[in-house]
Amino acid sequence: MNISIYLKLGVAVICLFDLGCAPVYNTTTSVAKDSKSRKAKESKVHSGGKSEIKVFLGEVSDAELIGNNLKAENGNSEVGKGIVRIVNGNVSIGGKEVSALSYPIEISASNDIIAFNGKSYRGKFLLHKLSSSKIQIINKLNIEDYLRGVVPCELRVGEVEALKAQAVIARSFALSKIKGGKYDLKATVEDQVYNGIEAEIKRTDKAIKETRGIVCTYRGEVIDARYSSTCGGRTQDGDKPYLESRVCQFCKFSPHYRWKSEHLLSDFGKVRSIRIYKKDKSGRVDMIKIVSNKGTQEIRGTTFRAKFGLKSRFCDIRMKGNKIQVTGKGYGHGIGLCQYGAVGMARKGYKYKSILKYYYKRIKVEKIY
């Protein structure tokens, strides 16, 4: 089976295979059932899942939008019709330059598909003129359509229940980001990688459709559904009650379950000793002490991991001459859902709700539209 799993490392993301991926974090959206919270919910999840999301695609000076019968509007007034070109930070529609007073403009195509920078996107485009002589390009579309361009970038496996779990997480994250600003999230690893129509595949489309409107909640709020590639046997605590460390025996087949690497210590001077002196509850490195001709340095586990590009800080170290040998477990931060673990659970017959409830404690899996 062809497994492609992308992993999340906090804000920075490393992609194992050919596509991008993104972390999911800081997600809280009210979905409580009381009337006050219901109002808040409805403001985010408009009219039965017809919620639109605004995805920032980039800032450009020169570009072209391609689509069938393109039309530009500002509010209810038509700005122009025809080919949309951006030249030196100015937009022209049907050969006529858009007046500075007309921004932002909304571009729509008769078939709801617009191409930009070699990629096709569903929905509409919003163009804002920036003082930097650039045009900000935003794709505005239904959240369920958005997920079709996201989930395949996050997890590409054959296990249907793992894909459904991934769809629920990506949806929760996206919903929590709708705050009414110029845009809600970026199409990159900073939020969730979104590659438009080209990314869409049948099996992730199906997983999205079959979980339509379903999110994870904790005490009536959409959860901060963080996840990473391979926990290596145990996830770690996050800063939320439902992000609690737990044993995972489902990711043993991951190529990152156990690993070894070797690194030169030259950046730290003439090193006499290096040792881990603090680990967290899950066994991940918190602090390292290095004694060298430069004195004693204490570095954080996260800094240590970044410095040597380690797959995780779930590791042990041994000094050998001017090198350290690292033996490690897992890939990614290890908080929340373990993606290889989710695949392992699906292989054992677990359904997506059980998978989500295994990695996020005391949550509910609810359909909110």
Q: Which of residues 138-167 bind Zn ion (CB under 5 A)?
A: none
User: Does residue number 338 form part of the binding site for Zn ion (CB under 5 A)?
Assistant: yes
Q: For residues 129 and 89, is the Cβ–Cβ distance under 8 A?
A: yes
Question: What is the smallest separation between the CB atom of 199 and Zn ion, expressed in angstroms?
Answer: 26
Of 31-39, 77-85, 270-278, 335-343, the segment contacting Zn ion by CB under 5 A is 335-343
Nearer to Zn ion, 148 or 313 (CB): 313
Question: What is the smallest separation between the CB atom of 344 and Zn ion, expressed in angstroms?
Answer: 7
Q: Which of residues 250-269 bind Zn ion (CB under 5 A)?
A: 251
Q: Which of residues 212-251 bind Zn ion (CB under 5 A)?
A: 231, 248, 251
How many residues interact with Zn ion (rule CB under 5 A)?
Answer: 5
3-state SS string over the chain? Answer: CCCEECCCECCECCCCCCCCCCCCCCCCCECCCCHHHHHHHHHHCCCCCCCEEEEEEEEECCEEEEECCCEEEECCEEEEECCEEEECCEEEECCEECCHHHCCEEEECCCCEEEECCEEEECEEEEEECCCCCEEEEEEEEHHHHHHCCHHHHEECCCHHHHHHHHHHHHHHHHHCCCCCCCCEECCCCCCCCCHHHHCCHHHHHHHHHCCCEEEEECCEECCCCEECECCCECECCCCCCCCCCECCCCCCCCCCEEEEEEECHHHCCEEEEEEEEECCCCCEEEEEEEECCEEEEEEHHHHHHHHCCCCCCEEEEEECCEEEEEEECECCCECEEHHHHHHHHHCCCCHHHHHHHHCCCCEEEECC
Question: What is the smallest separation between the CB atom of 233 and Zn ion, expressed in angstroms?
Answer: 7
Question: What is the smallest separation between the CB atom of 58 and Zn ion, expressed in angstroms?
Answer: 35
Nearer to Zn ion, 169 or 231 (CB): 231
Question: What is the smallest separation between the CB atom of 256 and Zn ion, expressed in angstroms?
Answer: 10
Question: What is the smallest separation between the CB atom of 249 and Zn ion, expressed in angstroms?
Answer: 8
Q: Which of residues 71-130 bind Zn ion (CB under 5 A)?
A: none
User: Does residue number 196 form part of the binding site for Zn ion (CB under 5 A)?
Assistant: no
Nearer to Zn ion, 253 or 277 (CB): 253
Nearer to Zn ion, 218 or 359 (CB): 359
Q: For residues 158 and 203, is the Cβ–Cβ distance under 8 A?
A: yes
Q: Which of residues 27-46 bind Zn ion (CB under 5 A)?
A: none
Nearer to Zn ion, 23 or 123 (CB): 23
Nearer to Zn ion, 98 or 169 (CB): 169
Nearer to Zn ion, 16 or 338 (CB): 338
Question: What is the smallest separation between the CB atom of 351 and Zn ion, expressed in angstroms?
Answer: 18
User: Does residue number 341 form part of the binding site for Zn ion (CB under 5 A)?
Assistant: yes
Note the residues at the interface with Zn ion (CB under 5 A).
231, 248, 251, 338, 341
